[in-house]
Amino acid sequence: MSERTKIDARGAYCPGPLMELIAGLKLINVGDEIEVLSSDKGSANDIPEWVKKVHHEMVGITQQDGYWSIVVRKAK
Amino acid sequence: MAKRILIVGGGLAGTIVANGLCRQLREDLSAGSVVINMIGATDKHLYQPGLLYLPFGRARESELFRDQRKVLDRRVPYFIDPAKHIDVDKQVVTTQSGKAHSYDYLVIATGSRIRPDNIPGMTEGAHWFYDLDGARKMRDALAAFQGGRIVVNVNAPHKCPVAPLEIVFMLREHLAAKGLLDKSEITYTYPIGRLHALEPVANWTVPEFQKYGIKSETFFNTKSVDAKAKTITSEEGSTLEYDLLVTIPPHTGQQVILDSNLGAGGWVPTVRNTLLREGSQNVFVVGDTTNIPISKAGSTAHFEADTIIDNISSLIKEDRWAREYDGKVFCFVETGLNSGTYVWFNYTTPPNPGPPSQMIHWFKLAYNRLYWLSARGLL
């Protein structure tokens, strides 16, 4: 069963949500997931764009109250 | 019985905490009601940002080091005996020599380390300036460089977020000074879809790179380096050829954090405002060691340390919490060998770098000296 790690990157200007995701993916096993919380609306675009480039899997994006929840599965 | 404060790690963060606590708890230390101990790995304290200047001959190795016992308040016994295991349930830290240090308050300041060995071929094929040996080798490589393709490659996670840009601008001026600019090109790679994690810095960098003819490739996360073929390949499928590869290697936390099961990657899960380890009420985490999603930088360590000093002092003297950390980070940005700018931000205030000037560059050079006052907790 896959595990899910949460990264709360709300209000994180540097290194920012995508960099946190990239670093976080290095620490989990293939098949496990990371949920990134981001208050930067750009994350809703740049995270899926990068995930597609490197062939991981987007599990979902949901807009919450003032932030986005973005779930990615490590595919390789 | 005396309250025992144990600081694990003798870098900037741990040293500021120790020296600051000595000032705020001087009466308690004199009375013997508080004891502060520090354990670390080396008798030397390194001014890490100074390594940036070493490859260009603009810093002497001797300028970058001080005796840790002279930087540290004399009231703090310093044990050069690295921590081997941290048991936060039993409140004891065991060292490599087998000695056990019990504590009432623990400050984990073990920092981060570069891991070029985590990427195939990087150790053999790349240069870096993030440790002394690497900076020495890069200095030699630059001295022998007669022109060609330089790739400056950035990996995540890494500390000192503006150093990758600084090294690009400094390399360009170095090549110009040696008359090699016409025979060289610099390509900068970055893991995400812009030139820097900080969006205003990224936006500022675009015209600067255009002005100087510096090439770039974004969404570049290093998969491997081929030292023989002199190529670097990304997870995204791009391959670049190089004559000189300068990398910002990926970082991890320290082995003792992993061995103590305190956090994946050696980063300790930390509450962003209190700087307490998640699940603990007497274990503080400071500097690069935290998993807080903010810059791993000396200024971060400094501002976090100030908060921890106030809170441990207040808890001991008044049995109450003093204040919270607001996420403040401040970074100088060298934009060449003679100009600089700066950027600051916190959890609620976005960064907004100003125009570069020679004056700010001089401030940065001055801070290179003032660092030692900062480590002593006087600045």
Please give the average per-residue pLDDT across B318-328, as a whole number.
97
CB contact under 8 A, A14 and B345: yes
Q: Residue B30: its pLDDT value, please? A: 97
Residues 6+ apart with CB under 8 A from B229: B241
Q: Looking at A15-24, B106-115, B332-341, which range is the least confident one?
A: B332-341
Beta-carbon-side half-sphere exposure of residue B7 (alpha carbons within 13 Å): 31
Its ipTM equals 0.92
CB-based burial label for B230 (10 Å; 0-12, 13-18, 19+): middle
Three-state secondary structure call for residue B302: helix
Which of A4, A14, A40 is the best residue to mutate to test the B interface, defined by the most B CB atoms within 10 Å of its own CB? Answer: A14
Res B245 pLDDT > 80: yes
* B249 lies within 8 A of chain A by CB: no
In this complex, the residue of B192, B272, B350 whose CB is nearest that of residue A50 is B192
Rounded to 5 degrees, φ, ψ at B241 are -90, 150
Q: What is the mean pLDDT of residues B130-136?
A: 97
Is A42 close to B264, i.e. CB distance below 8 A? no
What distance, in Å, lies between the first and last C-alpha atoms of chain B? 33
Distance CA B207, CA B205 (A): 6
Could you confirm whether domain A4-73 is CATH 3.30.110.40?
yes
pLDDT tens digits, B47-61: 999 999 999 999 999
A56, B203 contact by CB (below 8 A): no
Q: Taking a C-beta distance cutoff of 8 angstroms, is the pair B289, B253 a contact? A: yes
Domain boundaries along the sequence of chain A? 4-73
Q: What per-residue confidence (pLDDT) applies to B61?
A: 94
How many residues make up chain B in this entry? 379
Minimum mean pLDDT range among A41-50, B29-38, B207-216: A41-50
Phi and psi at residue B376, to the nearest 5°: -75, -5
Assess whether pLDDT exceeds 80 at residue A1.
Answer: no
Q: For residue A19, give the nearest of B157, B265, B327 by CB distance.
A: B157
Contacts of A9 in chain B (CB under 8 A): 293
- Of A33, A35, A43, A34, residue with least CA distance to A12: A43
Mean pLDDT of B67-86: 97
**Cα–Cα separations (whole angstroms), residue B68 to B15, B42, B45, B157:** 9, 8, 5, 27
Indicate if the pLDDT at residue B32 is higher than 90. yes
Domains of chain B: 3-111+254-328 (3.50.50.60), 115-251 (3.50.50.60)
Say whether the peptide bond before residue B77 is cis (omega within 30 degrees of 0): no
Report the pLDDT value the prediction gives residue A13, as an integer from 0 to 100.
86
Q: Identify the pLDDT of residue A11.
A: 85
Euclidean distance between CA atoms B360 and B355, whole angstroms = 10
Residue carrying the six token digits 């190795």: B61
Q: Return the bridge partners of B167, or none.
A: none
Name, in order, each residue with C-beta under 8 angstroms of A74's C-beta and a sequence gap of 6 or more. A25, A28, A29, A30, A31, A32, A33, A34, A56
Does the distance separating the beta carbons of B264 and A27 come in below 8 Å?
yes
